[in-house]
C-alpha cells in the first residue's frame, strides 16, 4: 500500500522501486511520529529500552545484554539511534547502571462494585428493523479479511464461523501453528528409529519446540553467514541454538541435542531436479532470504489473472449482465457476490485494469527462499514427530497436511517473481521443499527426510483460478463467516 497525491494505491509485485521507496518512507515516517508522541510525554524521567552492548564504564549487573535478534516495529529506529550514540561515545558509561530486575505477575486492580438504579426502556428491546437488513450492512461495510494458510487450515468449508477478534491474532501464533504438526488424537506415535536415544526421538515436540528450531535456523541462514563453516564449529552452533532457546523461552538444556539435530539435517545430500547439493543444505550458494513475509490480494475474477486469457476477460465483461445483476459494487461476501470490472474498466486489457482489493489479503511467512542456478526455490522447515520418515509415507503426510500451504506459497512466490506465462515459470521457478528435521540424517541416504515438488504450469494456473472463482478453494473457507457479538 502506498499514497500518491493524497490517494491510497494498492500494488502487486513486481513493484517499481519508486513505489517500494515510498512505502518504506511512509512506514518509517509513521513509526517516527509515534515515537515522537511517546518520547515527548514524559513528565519527569524518560526510560528508553536498549538492547545493545553496554557502553564503556557501565556499572552493575549486566543481565542478558545479548541482542535478542533484530528489533522489530517502530522501536528499531530508536534502538538504532541509541546504539549509534553508544558506539560514538555520546552515552556516558559512568552514568549508566544495569540492574537485574525481578519480574512479578501483574496484579489485578481491585474495584468495588457499585449498583446504579436503571429502568429499562421498552424502545431499547424492540426490533428496529428486520435482521436481514443488519446482515446486509455488516457484509457491505466489513473490512477486508487478512488470512493465511494456517487460518484457512483451521477451518474446513463446513466450519466457517470465527469470532470477530480472530483477525487480531499475532503473526507469531501463525508461525507457531505452522511450525509443527500434531495429530488430532494428541501425541504422535513412536518414531521409527534404530536408536531410542537418538535426538530425533528424545527431543520433545510441540509448537514451542518448532518455533525454537525455526529461530535457530533463521540465524544460521542470515545473508552472509557461511553455514557449512559454521557447522564445523560445534561451539558456535550450540551458541546460536542457545540464543534461540532463550528467545523462544525453551529450556537451554535442549540446546546441545538440538544443535546435533540441525547439524546432521543440514548435511543430508540432495539430488533434486535443478538442485544438486552433495554437501546438503549447508552448502547452499546464491541468494537466500530466511523468514520472508509475503502478502498478495486474494485473487478476484476482476483482477489480472496469473496468465491473461482473452476468454476469461470476455467472461468477466459479460458476467454481471448474464446474471441479471446491476453494475458496480455489491455486498461483500462470497466469490459469487464479488463484483466484476466496472463499466469503464471493461474495454481495458487484463493487465491495464485498476487493481482493487475485494475480499482481502493472503499473507504468509516462508522459512527460506533461495536461488540456485538462476531459479528460485522455497523451503519450509518441519519439526513434526512422525512414525516413519520413509519417502512414500512422508510424501503422503505432506499431501494430507501441507497441500494448501504448498499451493498458496507457490502462488505467493510467483507473484513476487512477476511470473505471468509458462516460459517465465520454467525459467525462474525451481520448486518447493519440505525439510523434516527429525527425519534428515546422512546415514539414511540421499534426500532423507526431504520432499520436493515442482507443479506443472497448468496446475499452478488451475490453483489460481480456484482462488479466483471459489468461496471455498481446495475445500477451505477463504472468507470466514463472522459471529455476531
Least confident of 19-33, 42-56, 248-262: 42-56
SS3 375: strand
Residue 212, exposed/middle/buried by CB under 10 A (0-12, 13-18, 19+)? buried
Closest CA to 181 of 378, 387, 377: 387
Residue 429, exposed/middle/buried by CB under 10 A (0-12, 13-18, 19+)? buried
Stretch 372-385: mean pLDDT: 93
Q: What is the pLDDT of residue 94?
A: 66
Least confident of 64-73, 132-141, 463-472: 64-73
pLDDT tens for each residue of 209-235: 999 999 999 999 988 899 999 999 999
Mean pLDDT, the chain, as a whole number?
A: 76
**How far is Cα of residue 115 from the mean position of the Cα atoms in its chain?**
47
Q: How far apart are CA 373 and CA 408, in angstroms?
A: 24
Stretch 381-394: mean pLDDT: 92
CATH classification of 176-292+361-475, choosing from 3.20.20.70, 3.40.190.10, 3.90.320.10, 3.30.565.10?
3.90.320.10
Q: What is the pLDDT of residue 433?
A: 96
DSSP 142: P
pLDDT class of 309 with cuts at 50, 70, 90: low
Grid cell 487484463 in the structure block, residue: 350
Q: How far apart are CA 254 and CA 239, in angstroms?
A: 12
Q: What is the pLDDT of residue 118?
A: 73
pLDDT class of 127 with cuts at 50, 70, 90: low
pLDDT class of 441 with cuts at 50, 70, 90: very high
Whether pLDDT at 191 is above 60:
no
Each domain of the chain, given as residue ranges in start order, spans 2-98, 176-292+361-475, 299-358
pLDDT class of 95 with cuts at 50, 70, 90: low
Contact criterion met (CB below 8 Å) for 371 and 24 = no
Q: What is the pLDDT of residue 344?
A: 39
Percent of the chain at pLDDT exceeding 90: 30
Winning range, highest mean pLDDT, from 262-271, 329-338, 385-394: 262-271
Whether pLDDT at 422 is above 80:
yes
pLDDT class of 83 with cuts at 50, 70, 90: confident
Least confident of 183-192, 258-267, 296-305, 381-390: 183-192
Q: How far apart are CA 129 and CA 133, in angstroms?
A: 7
Stretch 363-381: mean pLDDT: 93
Whether pLDDT at 301 is above 50:
yes
The phi and psi torsions of 34 (rounded to 5 degrees) equal -65, -40
pLDDT class of 462 with cuts at 50, 70, 90: very high
SS3 95: helix
Q: What is the pLDDT of residue 468?
A: 86
Kindly provide the residue ranges of all beta strands, DSSP E only, lying in 298-422, ordered along the sequence.
Answer: 360-372, 375-382
> Three cell numbers at 478?
477463504
pLDDT tens for each residue of 284-293: 988 899 998 8
Whether pLDDT at 163 is above 70:
no
DSSP 156: B
Strands 7-9 and 2-4: antiparallel
Q: What is the pLDDT of residue 299?
A: 83
Q: How far apart are CA 220 and CA 237, in angstroms?
A: 8
Identify the helix (H) or strand (E) that includes residue 247. helix 234-248
Q: What is the pLDDT of residue 390?
A: 92
Whether pLDDT at 283 is above 90:
yes
pLDDT tens for each residue of 147-161: 888 888 776 544 333
DSSP 22: H
Tell me whether the omega of the peptide bond preceding residue 352 falls within 30 degrees of 0, making it cis: no
pLDDT tens for each residue of 244-279: 999 888 899 999 999 999 999 999 999 999 999 999
pLDDT class of 331 with cuts at 50, 70, 90: very low
Residue 275, C-beta contacts closer than 8 angstroms, at least 6 positions apart:
372, 377, 430, 431, 433, 452
The phi and psi torsions of 105 (rounded to 5 degrees) equal -65, 145
Q: How far apart are CA 152 and CA 177, in angstroms?
A: 12
Contact criterion met (CB below 8 Å) for 355 and 303 = yes
Whether pLDDT at 400 is above 80:
yes
Dihedral sign computed on CA atoms, order 230, 233, 239, 241 = positive
Q: How far apart are CA 383 and CA 244, in angstroms?
A: 15
Amino acid at each position: 500500500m502506498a499514497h500518491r497525491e493524497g490517494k491510497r494505491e494498492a500494488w502487486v509485485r513486481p513493484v517499481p522501486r519508486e513505489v517500494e521507496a515510498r512505502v518504506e518512507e511512509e512506514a518509517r515516517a509513521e513509526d517516527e511520529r509515534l515515537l515522537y508522541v511517546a518520547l515527548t510525554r514524559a513528565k519527569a524521567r524518560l526510560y528508553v529500552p536498549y538492547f545493545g552492548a553496554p557502553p564503556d564504564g557501565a556499572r552493575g549487573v549486566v543481565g542478558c545484554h545479548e541482542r535478542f535478534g533484530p528489533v522489530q516495529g517502530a522501536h528499531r529506529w530508536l534502538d538504532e539511534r541509541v546504539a549509534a550514540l553508544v558506539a560514538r561515545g555520546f552515552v556516558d558509561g559512568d552514568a549508566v547502571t544495569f540492574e537485574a530486575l525481578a519480574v512479578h505477575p501483574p496484579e489485578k486492580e481491585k474495584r468495588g462494585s457499585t449498583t446504579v438504579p436503571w429502568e429499562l426502556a421498552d424502545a431499547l428491546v424492540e426490533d428496529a428493523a428486520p435482521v436481514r437488513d443488519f446482515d446486509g450492512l455488516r457484509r457491505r461495510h466489513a473490512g477486508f479479511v487478512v488470512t493465511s494458510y494456517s487460518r484457512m487450515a483451521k477451518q474446513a468449508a463446513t466450519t466457517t464461523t470465527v469470532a470477530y477478534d480472530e483477525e487480531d491474532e499475532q503473526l507469531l501464533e501463525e508461525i507457531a501453528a505452522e511450525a509443527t504438526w500434531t495429530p488430532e488424537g494428541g501425541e504422535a506415535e513412536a518414531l521409527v528409529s534404530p536408536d531410542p536415544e537418538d535426538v530425533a526421538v528424545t527431543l520433545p515436540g510441540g509448537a514451542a519446540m518448532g518455533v525454537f528450531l525455526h529461530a535457530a535456523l533463521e540465524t544460521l541462514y542470515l545473508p552472509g553467514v557461511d553455514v557449512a563453516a559454521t557447522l564445523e564449529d560445534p561451539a558456535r552452533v550450540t551458541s546460536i541454538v542457545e540464543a534461540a532457546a532463550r528467545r523462544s523461552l525453551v529450556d537451554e538444556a535442549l540446546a546441545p541435542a538440538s544443535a546435533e539435530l540441525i547439524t546432521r539435517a543440514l548435511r543430508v545430500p540432495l539430488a533434486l531436479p535443478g538442485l544438486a547439493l552433495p554437501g546438503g543444505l549447508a552448502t547452499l550458494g546464491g541468494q537466500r532470504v530466511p523468514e520472508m513475509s509475503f502478502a498478495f490480494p486474494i485473487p478476484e475474477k476482476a483482477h489480472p489473472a496469473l496468465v491473461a486469457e482473452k476468454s476469461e476477460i470476455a467472461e468477466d465483461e459479460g458476467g454481471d449482465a448474464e446474471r441479471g445483476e446491476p453494475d458496480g459494487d455489491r455486498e461483500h461476501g462470497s466469490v459469487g457476490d464479488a463484483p466484476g470490472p466496472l463499466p469503464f474498466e471493461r474495454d481495458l486489457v487484463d493487465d491495464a485494469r485498476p487493481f482493487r482489493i475485494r475480499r482481502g489479503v493472503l499473507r504468509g511467512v516462508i522459512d527460506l527462499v533461495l536461488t540456485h542456478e538462476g531459479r528460485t526455490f522455497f523451503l519450509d522447515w518441519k519439526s513434526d514427530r512422525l512414525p516413519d520418515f520413509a519417502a512414500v509415507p512422508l510424501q503422503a503426510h505432506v499431501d494430507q497436511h501441507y497441500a494448501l500451504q504448498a499451493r498458496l506459497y507457490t502462488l505467493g512466490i510467483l507473484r513476487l517473481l512477476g511470473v505471468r506465462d509458462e516460459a517465465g515459470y520454467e525459467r525462474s521457478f525451481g520448486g518447493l521443499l519440505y525439510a523434516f528435521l527429525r527425519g534428515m540424517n546422512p546415514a539414511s541416504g540421499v534426500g532423507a527426510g526431504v520432499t520436493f515438488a515442482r507443479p506443472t504450469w497448468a496446475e499452478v494456473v488451475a490453483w489460481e483460478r480456484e482462488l479466483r472463482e471459489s468461496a471455498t478453494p481446495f475445500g477451505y473457507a477463504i472468507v470466514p463467516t463472522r459471529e455476531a457479538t
